[in-house]
């Protein structure tokens, strides 16, 4: 139940992030999304433990490449979002509006990797959704 709740909340937050919202709301949702992503990774720790184990076929290799791409692109999105923050982290004096293009580009790349991630994990996700009934 925790996993699917976190997944649904992440999905809603991601949709909201791509809607035109006031910058402060965008940044608050973004910070919340960081915590949801961390929680999602924690809930799926067994996947990470299994990475060095077993044999790799084409599907497992592609899944790993997608997960690494998603992790890297999300990390760049998070870091560039914090560094280009205009409101939430204003007191830290790290706002750098000039790198906002990196934030926008990496968020789009993250979305591409997210779609690929959802495609490769769709059976598991659908099982979790059916449990809600």
Q: Helix (H, G, I), strand (E, B), or coil: what is residue 19? A: coil
Whole-prediction pTM value?
Answer: 0.84
pLDDT of residue 131: 80
The pLDDT tens digits along the chain (133 residues) read 688 889 889 999 999 999 989 989 999 999 999 999 999 999 999 999 999 999 999 999 999 999 999 999 999 999 998 888 877 776 666 666 678 889 999 999 999 999 999 999 888 888 887 887 7
How far does Cα 96 stand from its chain's mean position?
A: 22
The tokens describing 109, both together, are 């790349």
> DSSP characters for 68-109?
HHHHHHHHHHHHHHHHT-SSTTGGGT---GGGHHHHHHHHHH
């Amino acid at each position: 139940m925790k996993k699917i709740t976190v997944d649904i909340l992440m999905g809603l937050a991601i949709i909201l992030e791509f809607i035109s919202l006031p910058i402060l709301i965008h940044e608050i949702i973004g910070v919340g999304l960081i915590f949801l992503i961390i929680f999602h990774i924690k809930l799926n720790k067994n996947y990470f433990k299994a990475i060095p184990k077993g044999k790799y076929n084409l599907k497992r290799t592609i899944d790993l490449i997608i997960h690494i791409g998603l992790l890297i692109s999300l990390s760049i999105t998070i870091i560039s979002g914090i560094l280009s923050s205009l409101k939430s982290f204003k007191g830290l004096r790290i706002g750098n509006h000039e790198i906002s293009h990196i934030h926008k580009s990496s968020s789009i790349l993250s979305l591409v990797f997210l779609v690929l991630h959802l495609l490769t994990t769709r059976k598991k996700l659908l099982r979790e959704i059916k449990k809600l009934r």
